Amino acid sequence: MYKKLYIKILLTFLLVFFSGTSITHENISHNIDIASGDKCVEPTDIMRAQHHIFLNKQSHDTVVDGIRTKKYSLNNCINCHIQPSADGTYPSVKSEEHFCSGCHIKAAAQVECFDCHASKPFNNEKIEEEISKK
């Protein structure tokens, strides 16, 4: 009786350990375009803690010193992080579905960059289509 139960528990463990994909991290959607290489511009823990510092520096370099680079540009972040949902629309910057806002809303961080900056990808066929219609 106990022996059978023991074997069942053991089998369950083995199944969980070796079933791979269904329980690993890779299965969790990052809302990231796979074509982009699937990597942030810095390691994730550094980005989590310092992204606003990179953005502020980038902003200063561009606006004050006229230096324009892609790596930390806000458009670069948005192009990679903001992907359309199944119906082809982009999440509003006011909703938690927006990668940046989801976190800012939870952390109660006031981020007003998107009053001026685009919160959705720009160089996107669909958006270009919409613009060309106007």
State the angle between helix axes of 74-81 and 44-63 in degrees (0 to 180), rounded to the nearest 10: 140
Distance CA 68, CA 61 (A): 7
Q: What SS3 state is found at 86? A: coil
What are the residues binding ligand HEC (CB under 6 A)? 30, 32, 36-41, 44, 47-48, 51-52, 54-55, 58-59, 62-63, 72-77, 80-81, 99-100, 103-104, 107, 109, 111-113, 115-117
In the bound complex, what is the minimum distance in angstroms from residue 111's beta carbon to ligand HEC? 5
Smallest distance, Å, CB 3 to ligand HEC?
43
Nearer to ligand HEC, 115 or 129 (CB): 115
Asked whether 89 and 119 are in contact (CB, 8 A), the reply is no
We find the least distance from the C-beta atom of residue 127 to ligand HEC, in angstroms, to be 17
Q: Which is nearer to ligand HEC, 14 or 96 (CB)?
A: 96
- 68 vs 1, 81, 86, 132, CA distance in Å? 71, 20, 34, 27
| Residue with Cβ nearer ligand HEC (4 or 25) | 25
